[in-house]
Amino acid sequence: MPNLLSKYDTIVIGSGASGAVMAYELASKGMSVLVLEKGKRYLPNVDFEHNEMEMYAKLYKMSGLQTTKDNDVTIAQGQTVGGSTVINNAIWLRADLNKILPEWKAFGANIPQQTLINNYSFLEQKLKVKKIDPNIANAGSQIFLDACQRLNIPAEFLTHNRESCLGCGWCNYGCKYNRKTSMLVTFIPWAEAKGATVLDEVTTCVVTNKNGKANGVSFMRRGIPHLIASDKVVLCAGAIGSTEVLLKSNINPTGNVGKGLHLLGGVLVNAIMPRPVHSYDKIGLSCIAHAHKDYLIETFHSPPGVFSLNIGAWYKEHHDLMMKYTHMIQAGVMTASDPTGTITLDKKERPVINFKFSKNNLVNIKRGIQTLTGIFLEAGAEQVLPASFKKISIGNHGEMTNIDKFIQKNDDITLGSAHPQGGNRMSDDPSKGAVNSQFEVHGLKNLFVADTSVWPSNLWANCQATAMAMSKYAATFVSV
């Protein structure tokens, strides 16, 4: 346990994409910073193993089992020092700011476009962002790109934040070799080098306040209660996590905390090729197809455990499909939901996520599955299998009707999201939002929220780049 000060300039709750960048920015300005992280800190080369079950338990929130109240949508988030960046796919996408920022402005959130662009550039240089080298992409990637080209669907390799990647393909379980420039090996140690203190295994964080100002955080660590004072508190506990801390702290002055959750999410689709492709080898998420404005298609490949959960069949049929694992290629379809979800606390103060993809969202996902199925059939797939509870199989264009026939409601397919957003949305109008355009909670001074939970509408892109760029911008208000 490091020696703690009795008071800090700022306490940051959460050490993921937004928390690590926030800690670095504040410490760089000479502020005393304490970072409180719920998850444990691991040593990549010692603790990270090529073992799905072990790593889910170590690195994922609720061991990967966080779902919406109706269990229809799995929401994956990291819970470790470095947050979701430790388990993410290192895909780096700038958002389409020309589309997003006017939507945010209409809701009352004013974010300067040029500042975000400058922040993206700064982060890209720091995190070694570049185009993915096809030599480290899984074999399904080129098959996918070739089929897209024949169908005149624009598609390309993505950009990523990795350096000298070995292409082992285990990015979702922590990079053992420190080749992914996650927060664990970049902004967290850089913040510490500038004087920040990072405490892991911290539970039950409650923000304290007096006279309308946040003034510290109480928490437990390894069974010992702590109360540390600070001039400012910044919540970077991620969508759902930051809402949970606010609600547990009884902070909801405008009634908008826990409202407006939205997801970028969808479904994985698997295809059986006529010959072994060994697509599990090398990195999973590698390419994007710009097929339609209403859905995103990105290639992927899961290790066998997760893969087996996404093949909708049972017993012998499931076994027979898994025996074709070496022949499989995979991609995902995602769409952006409206901000209709809510987060509340149950009697035991656990978060309850009330969220449903709308009928319109489901239509977009189905159209995306249809397009992706067309790409896989063009690539020569023998069978295409959207992730589902009961097996849905499409072997030719005539069987495309199976998509509408068998997918009629959310739980007919296996829905998931790794990109939760909203819940504490930003608007200068206190009747609409939980924080203002300076990231400060309405009605309580010196308390800020700087993670994806403040985004008023969906980013329509993988979130880490914008989470970091927004947090760097938020730090300019915290450090005043």
Ligand X SMILES: Cc1cc2nc3c(=O)[nH]c(=O)nc-3n(C[C@H](O)[C@H](O)[C@H](O)COP(=O)(O)OP(=O)(O)OC[C@H]3O[C@@H](n4cnc5c(N)ncnc54)[C@H](O)[C@@H]3O)c2cc1C
Catalog residues that contact ligand SF4 under the rule CB under 6 A. Answer: 162, 165-171, 175, 177, 179-180, 283
3 state DSSP class of 157 = strand
Cβ 393 vs Cβ 378: under 8 Å: no
Which segments of 353-441 does DSSP mark as H helices, in order?
359-378, 401-406
Rounded distance between C-alpha atoms, residue 157 and residue 159, angstroms: 7
Rounded least distance, CB 468 to ligand SF4, Å = 18
| 178 CB neighbour count, 10 Å cutoff | 15
Rounded least distance, CB 107 to ligand SF4, Å = 36
| 461 CB neighbour count, 10 Å cutoff | 22
Rounded distance between C-alpha atoms, residue 36 and residue 221, angstroms: 10
Nearer to ligand SF4, 168 or 309 (CB): 168
Nearer to ligand X, 27 or 273 (CB): 27
Nearer to ligand SF4, 170 or 219 (CB): 170
Q: What is the DSSP string of 8-55?
A: EEEEEE--SHHHHHHHHHHHHTT--EEEE-SSB---HHHH--S-HHHH
Nearer to ligand SF4, 259 or 301 (CB): 301
Residues in the chain: 480
Nearer to ligand X, 187 or 357 (CB): 187
Which does residue 168 touch among ligand SF4, ligand X, none (CB within 5 to 8 A, set by kind)? ligand SF4
Rounded distance between C-alpha atoms, residue 72 and residue 355, angstroms: 9
Rounded least distance, CB 97 to ligand SF4, Å = 27
- CA distance to 74, 258, 338, 343, per residue, from 350 (Å): 16, 13, 24, 10
Rounded least distance, CB 459 to ligand SF4, Å = 23
Rounded least distance, CB 64 to ligand X, Å = 9
Q: Where does this chain bind ligand X (CB under 6 A)?
A: 13-19, 36-39, 76-80, 83-85, 87-91, 93, 172, 202, 205, 236-238, 241, 245, 285, 418-419, 451-452, 462-465, 467
CB neighbours of 313 closer than 8 A, spacing ≥ 6?
Answer: 321, 391
Q: Taking Cα atoms as reference points, which of 9, 13, 112 lies closest to residue 479?
A: 9
Rounded least distance, CB 287 to ligand SF4, Å = 15
Nearer to ligand X, 19 or 312 (CB): 19
Which does residue 286 touch among ligand SF4, ligand X, none (CB within 5 to 8 A, set by kind)? none
Which does residue 16 touch among ligand SF4, ligand X, none (CB within 5 to 8 A, set by kind)? ligand X
Rounded least distance, CB 200 to ligand X, Å = 9
Nearer to ligand X, 375 or 418 (CB): 418
Which does residue 272 touch among ligand SF4, ligand X, none (CB within 5 to 8 A, set by kind)? none
Nearer to ligand X, 22 or 407 (CB): 22
Which does residue 418 touch among ligand X, ligand SF4, none (CB within 5 to 8 A, set by kind)? ligand X
**Position of minimal CB gap to ligand X:** 16
Rounded distance between C-alpha atoms, residue 454 and residue 122, angstroms: 22
Where on the phi/psi map is residue 222: left (φ > 0), alpha (ψ -120 to 50), or beta? left
Instruction: Name the token pair of 208.
Output: 């304290």
Rounded least distance, CB 174 to ligand SF4, Å = 7
